[in-house]
Structure 1
Amino acid sequence: MYIADETWPELGDYFENESLAIVPLGSTEQHGPHLPLATDHLIAEGFAREAADRTGYLCTPTIDIGVSPHHRQFDGTMWVDAPVFRDYVESLTRNLAYHGIDRVVYVNAHGGNVEHLREVGRRLRDEEVLYAVEWMWNDSIPELVDDLFEQNGPHGGPKETAMIQYLRPELVREDRLADARDDGVESVEAADTTKHGARTYYDAIENSDNGVFGDQRDATAEKGEEMFEAATDQLVRLCEWLAERDDSELMPSPHV
């Protein structure tokens, strides 16, 4: 169920019987010469909508601009500052709680959002407003991702390329896959910007001239579909697991 397609009486029926919502989040940031800036939020929305269709749980509109200042040197990248992002997501989630939602899955497809979604979840849980958990698609199927690609990326690499080839093939610049590989870097390790245990880089351009990693030619729509199906299955299971939990299992433990 997609919230923006429903009427308020229909949503009243949902809130009377269910208490879980799915919130997709991503970014609008560079993903190399071959993928659109929309890559992350398209992936997040794809998973969230599919999981909502399979379970009947509520899906909200996508938050499509995230914490991406580390990509700012590349034309078009958009971002909000981390405190603003956290406050916005918290406010939106409190809005869901007002309508009766008491558990939320943040379907996230941007690494830069992870720590901030975790912080928002902690704030809301500590106040016993509701329970919110962050879910990242590739973290749910790490073995499959590693099996499919010799070097999966991370950013703008073959795993994200394959996902967009499957979800939105018309947006992939297939003629730029070789450029993405040749002008990028194989891996973060290959960028050699970690010194004596310290990460010396702050911006993506310090690791990769074109902002991406891996061999994008290793991507196919078929691999994207395989990952999408496997990760969607994990997301559905997470939603069902969360819906079955008693409130006492989700709220903070009492002080020892």
Structure 2
Amino acid sequence: MYIADQTWPELGDYVAESSLAVVPLGSTEQHGPHLPLATDHLIAEALAREAADRTGFLCTPTVNVGVSPHHRQFHGTMWVDPPQFRDYVESMTRNLAYHGVDRVVFVNAHGGNVQYLREVGRRLRDDGTMYAIEWMWDESIPDLVTDLFDHPGPHGGPKETSMIMHIARDLVREGELESARDGGVPDLSDDHLREHGARTFYDAVENSGNGVFGDQTDASPEAGEELFEAATDQLVHLLSWLDDQPIDDLLAPAHVDPQPGSRR
């Protein structure tokens, strides 16, 4: 159920019966010469909408711009700074709580958002507002990703390329797959990331001239469909599990000492 397509009485009926919502989030940032800047938010929205359709749970509009300053050297990348992103997502999620939602899954497709979504979830849980957790699609199916691709890459690689081939193939510049591979870093190893144990870079361009990693020529729409179905199944299972949990079991436990700070 997509919230923006409903009327307010219909949504009143929904929260009278259910208290769970999914919130898709991504980014608008470079994904190499072969993929659109929309890659992350297209994936997040497609997965969230499909899981909501299969389960009947509520899905909100997508947060399209995330924490992406590490891609800023590439034309068109948009970003918000972490405090503003965190506060915006928290404020929007509190709207849902006001209307009766007490559990949320952030359906996330951008690694730069993860830390801050976890912080939002902790804030909402610690003050007793609701239980909100972050879910990242590729982390739900790691074995399938490694089975399908020798060099999946953490950004703009064949896993994301395959997903966009399945979701919106017309947006993939398929003639650029070889140049994406050859101008990027097909196999990202620890040698690219650390010097004597220290992480010495801040931005993607410091490791990859065209901003992407992995072997994009391994991508296919068939692999994308397999990834999409497997990730959707995992998300559906997560939503069903979360819906079954008593809210008191999800919120922050009480202090282990019923009288913290007292002297005996």
TM-score category, normalised to shorter length: over 0.9
DSSP-derived class of the 1:23 partner: strand
CA–CA distance in structure 1, aligned partners of residues 255 and 13 of structure 2: 37
Q: State percent identity of aligned pairs.
A: 70
Spell out the pairing of 1:116-135 with structure 2 (5 A cutoff). Answer: 116-135=116-135
Q: Show the counterpart of 2:45.
A: 45
Q: How far 1:187 moved relative to its partner? A: 3.3
**Is 1:141 aligned with 2:141?**
yes
CA–CA distance in structure 2, aligned partners of residues 85 and 189 of structure 1: 30
Measured against aligned partners, the alpha-carbon deviations of 1:74-100 in whole angstroms (never above 9, x if no partner) come to: 000000000000000000000000000
Counterparts in 2 of 1:190 and 1:197: CA distance versus 1, 3 Å: closer
Q: Show the counterpart of 2:90.
A: 90
| Unmatched runs of 5 consecutive residues or more in structure 1 | none
CA–CA distance in structure 2, aligned partners of residues 217 and 102 of structure 1: 43
Q: How far 1:196 moved relative to its partner? A: 1.6
Q: Show the counterpart of 1:79.
A: 79
Question: How many residues get paired?
Answer: 256
For the aligned residues, what is the CA RMSD? 0.8
Q: How far 1:34 moved relative to its partner? A: 0.0
Measured against aligned partners, the alpha-carbon deviations of 1:131-177 in whole angstroms (never above 9, x if no partner) come to: 00000000000000000000101100000000000000000000000
> Which protein has the larger Cα radius of gyration, Structure 1 or Structure 2?
2
CA–CA distance in structure 1, aligned partners of residues 251 and 193 of structure 2: 40
Q: Show the counterpart of 1:30.
A: 30
Q: How far 1:190 moved relative to its partner? A: 6.5
| Unmatched runs of 5 consecutive residues or more in structure 2 | 257-264
CA–CA distance in structure 1, aligned partners of residues 232 and 213 of structure 2: 25
DSSP-derived class of the 2:192 partner: coil
Measured against aligned partners, the alpha-carbon deviations of 1:201-237 in whole angstroms (never above 9, x if no partner) come to: 1000001000000110000000000010011000000
Spell out the pairing of 1:121-200 with structure 2 (5 A cutoff). Answer: 121-189=121-189, 192-200=192-200
1:112 maps to a residue whose letter is G
Any conservation in 1 of the 2:188–2:214 contact (CA below 8 Å)?
Answer: no
TM-score w.r.t. length of structure 1 = 0.99
CA–CA distance in structure 1, aligned partners of residues 193 and 58 of structure 2: 42
Any conservation in 2 of the 1:191–1:208 contact (CA below 8 Å)?
Answer: no
TM-score w.r.t. length of structure 2 = 0.96
Q: How far 1:44 moved relative to its partner? A: 0.0
